Structure 1
């Protein structure tokens, strides 16, 4: 007992108690409270220090215009980074029944969970699932896919929407799906040759000096078997689609035979064996894609760095000493490094878009319910969804077309799939980009300057306009999202995770302890906040085509050696990485990130567009226009493999 108290004292003295719950980072600060939140009898910031509950102003009374008096509550994180012995001690303290409960209560109180969520009063009813009824977004210059098309025919429809092929390439570009298809069709290269080069490249990448840790599982014989079949189809002149023979990687949160689905753990597959391909994987196979393995990820998706103590830290191809981001770290890195033109991830809190931005590739998260979710680990079922990582917007659109809708044996979806006609970039005018300036600028100077310059390019090249708006209570939304994703993960694992405590990474153990501290009351209050935020966003998107922001608040940070075995708790950087991601997941809105530049170290920076429900065509169109304005400046990563020619 004396030892426990002594260790607890060490933690307190080092100010570590209040910093280890993903989005709970507002510590020991005195903030002015946003004007849409008031205390009964005590308006303004005084309500923050009273015992009476906060009362949120009704949505109808909140001004969303540029002159709104809403206060932007900026995160002020002063959290020491924890790895090694410190994170082990903290995890063990959290797991002591009485002491752990006390620490968790303090965590929630210090981080304003009690004030802003638990004891708050809201008139909005809860919204438990952000499944949007279909309303035609009235998109222009689009192609509507017929509901009974096979995945291969949907891919063909996407090809018909691409701009005219040009032999001219920027100084650096990744090989696209169409590049692979043309090379295979000409006979210059075969899928089997690409598979052999892929296997050699992955083997090389896993060794010093880089030790990239791209994959959790990859079977050479299985890859060659698929590639041989694809090669024979091309020799007969009968490829299934342009995806035939193209290497595609799958995040290890998605079922894909013959591999186990581990979720980045050493134990989850023992309780939930993989018995079939996920729906999205089936659709890719029906297009002839060569599935090359399961990519590395942050354990249970419970972090933003991609550092996995079981399978290694996925490293950033632009600078291998930096993180790739998480949790779809491996999927972003294999695309960035040229090993695959596309990969699948799962986005529960920016987990596709964050690593895409840090690794300099495109990340697309569709509307909630757009892509069938069967065969995906049920870790966060109302915020997580399958997303696409790709080297180009065109490739993201091709795979989006392939995996959208129902599998052929099911009733077709009644939600039409629209694809933009990308060859008509300058034909669509009057695009309005909603920008909340205080939020947009809440990033480091290099990210802010780069993203602002990217917006200027859109205005200069296409004449599109930026509309200033206010998005209230962004920090409150983050807390509510964290409550939601944490509660859902805890519920899905509650009956089994106790059996495998010793098999869990130390950072994951801390996360799971915090997830279990949320109550049913807090979960319901979070869903009321979800309803409230959705109304705010719908009002803004009724006046603008998309909301624009940076994708992350910082670029990729360094991997420290002491984090490799224990994982790390680094919520200063984590807070900055998730800053712009939450609305897409919590509200089920589609979102896309596209690379727009680099910082002074040559690390990528991404710009994000958040769209109306079911309006993926508009997002893809805007991302393509942004890509066209920036592609001449694209830089080659330090770790890059050219699979279409001998190196």
Structure 2
């Protein structure tokens, strides 16, 4: 049990920071986030952006913002004993003590289509179902799966070309409804890919279960014939796309139809998905609410049924956050597990390719297709061979499932877990209780020291990397063309100095130690995905964005370790609030333990399936087309 926190001061507030022992870790005080920044939108936001960009005003306001939000104190006034860790690194023997059960190992350099076949063989036998009844016939809602598409094609009930035509129609309909899901979509290219898939099915030679399945791509990932804009109006003009990203290549080799580039928060610098150039991406569960950032377009497209899976990029919860807000599965593997080749280099050491899917089984299939670095990827910790979880026994009565879940230990930091809105807290506690009641899974109470310092260190790191990456192109082409919220954030990013950056990397070393200690006690750290459900879209924010770091910090509260430390993490839907807005639960795993996360997520998905609701905006591309 955690010792009492009363009267104990956090070691991070001392003049010198020494690494705390495990006993001292348990006494660390939990600091509730107190963001001190103005909440602005519309004309006042534009004025504030101009002030920060003005030399005299900016030289006063920027240091004040950093001081008020403890960045100065944390990284300039404290002295760390640890060396900096510039990129997530894991001990070479990590794979030796990851005893994943009920898995199938994939040999390195396995072809994507073969890996996908292995992934499908890990799943229960396919059962055709009604869209309103998840697998097993349990009451609730379940999205169309990749196997639903493959079965429909193989049976001849519908062709990839017909699905592509319905996809194009759905995109047009969603545009008229103001959903703003896509930045770019080439109808001719989509139909051409679908026609090739249709011919392969006619010949009885589909490339894989993904053949003919529509997959969307966040506009932060290279995918021909499109420019990669990063949600801007200028970046695509100064950066040429010469080839597909590695992940896109692997999906194409499996026959997937890449259907276009999804909308995103401009340059990933926000948590709402409100883009002043391409419109605010609206949440399919309530179009007056945000989809989340920055992979909001990919998440909303999956939630709306426009595609069963989409690619995103997760630099600060940018896959898991919108997944939680839109009621889908968001999954990012361990840093280095999947190649980032062809992804905009906005944040080199915290950004990671991820997936948005309507189900855990589709997260498994996408992971099987995409996993593995390229031989020329510059990585520090070489990943061990990947495991795929055997999900053939989804029933909680299964002996195998019961054994896997019964042997697991969840780590829970209660003060942190409960630091969220009541509906989120209640839904996540209910999900945890269902797991404990069904499988007697153990929950270990832990403390994660210096969570707020880690959040600030991540902010300094992602900001420094983004500012450096954009460099002269932003100053020459992007400054005047960007939304006011991006201009404010860029000014703050540009104010970080070398001492703050080095201090942040020392905090990365400390946090890697703290989390390694936790993983000696437990397999998975559990938390809500976000501290609140999807906020309303402010009308004033639609034209120039908004500045609301208070809400942003609340939405990002639980996601930093996945990026700053590169740990595998997944968000799975566990219910809704009284307004019908989705709630997600997050699982954070040991390095390289993706199979375990997927196993546990599949169990939670099944237990919580009765609580899932159909989105207000939903398209069924497998409905029989009009003749």
Bin the TM-score by the shorter chain. over 0.9
1:492 aligns with 2:469: yes
Q: Which residue of 2 aligns with 1:151?
A: 112
* TM-score, normalised by the number of residues in structure 1: 0.90
- Say if 2:337 and 2:383, in contact at 8 Å, map to a contact too: no
Alpha carbons of 1:376 and 1:463: their partners in 2 closer, same or farther (altered >3 Å)?
A: same
- Contact 2:35–2:69 (Cα < 8 Å) also in 1: no
Q: 1:196 to 1:440 in 2, by over 3 A?
A: same
Q: The residue matched to 1:399 in structure 2 has which SS?
A: helix
**What is the rounded CA distance, in whole Å, between the counterparts of 2:259 and 2:196 in structure 1?**
14
2:194 is equivalent to residue 233 of structure 1? no
1:426 corresponds to 2:402: yes
Alignment of 1:24-35 (within 5 A): 34-35=9-10
1:125 and 2:83 correspond? yes
**Counterpart of 2:501 in 1: which secondary structure?**
helix
Cα distance in 2 for residues equivalent to 1:502 and 1:633: 46
Query: Structure 1 603/632 Cα, relative in aligned 2: closer, same or farther at 3 Å?
Result: same
| Residue among 521, 526, 535 paired with 2:499 | 521
**How far does residue 58 in structure 1 lie from its aligned partner after superposition?**
1.8
Query: How many angstroms apart in 2 are the aligned matches of 1:521 and 1:643?
Result: 53
Contact between 2:42 and 2:540, CA under 8 Å: does it hold in 1? yes
Match of 1:582 in 2: 560
Equivalent residue for 1:384?
A: 351
Q: Is the 8 A contact 2:311 2:353 kept in 1?
A: yes
1:593 pairs with 2:571 = yes
Matches within 5 A, 1:347-386: 347-386=314-353
Question: How do 1:598-637 and structure 2 match up within 5 A?
Answer: 598-637=576-615
Mean Cα deviation higher: 168-177 or 216-225: 168-177
Partner of residue 453 from structure 2, selected from 476, 479, 485: 476
1:123-177 per-residue CA deviation (whole Å, 9 max, x = no partner) reads 1110000032442112111000122321000000000101233345334211100
Residues 212, 314 of structure 1: 8 Å contact kept? yes
Q: How far apart are residue 320 of structure 1 and its match? A: 0.3
Per the alignment, residue 36 of structure 1 pairs with 11
Supply the distance in 2 between the matched residues of 1:32 and 1:221 (Cα, whole angstroms). 66
Displacement after TM superposition at 1:259 (Å)? 0.2
Instruction: Give, in whole Å, the separation in 1 of the partners of 2:377 and 2:348.
Output: 21
Query: Is contact 1:297–1:308 with CA below 8 Å preserved after alignment?
Result: yes
> Aligned partners of 2:567 and 2:539: how far apart in 1?
37
Q: Which residue of 1 aligns with 2:398?
A: none
SS at match of 1:180: helix
CA distance in 1 between partners of 2:608 and 2:9 (Å): 37
Quote how far apart the aligned CAs of 1:581 are.
Answer: 0.5
1:118 to partner: Cα distance? 1.8
1:634: how far off? Answer: 1.4
Contact 2:36–2:68 (8 Å) recurs in 1? no
Trace 1:321-360 onto structure 2 (pairs within 5 A).
321-360=288-327
Give the whole-Å Cα distance in 1 for the aligned partners of 2:376 and 2:198: 28
- After TM superposition, the structure 1 = structure 2 runs for residues 183-198 of structure 1, keeping only pairs within 5 Å, are 183-198=152-167
Corresponding position of 1:405: 372
Distance in 2, matches of 1:288 and 1:539, equals 43
The equivalent residue for 1:142 is 103
1:38 CA displacement:
4.3
The equivalent position to 2:146 in structure 1, one of 174, 177, 186, is 177
Q: Spell out the pairing of 1:64-463 with structure 2 (5 A cutoff).
A: 64=25, 68-77=26-35, 80-134=38-92, 135-136=94-95, 137-167=98-128, 169-170=133-134, 171-207=140-176, 210-406=177-373, 415-424=384-393, 425-428=401-404, 429-463=406-440
- Deviation track 1:78-130 (CA, whole Å, cap 9, x = no partner) reads 65521111000000000011220211111111111111122211111100000
Q: Quick one: distance in 1 between partners of 2:200 and 2:10?
A: 64
Q: Is the 8 A contact 1:335 1:341 kept in 2?
A: yes
Cα distance in 1 for partners of 2:385, 2:114 equals: 15
Q: 1:221 to 1:567 in 2, by over 3 A?
A: same
| Preserved CA contact (<8 Å) 1:430 1:463 | no
CA contact (8 A) 1:34 1:473 kept: no
Q: Normalising by the residue count of structure 2, what TM-score does the alignment of the two structures yield?
A: 0.93
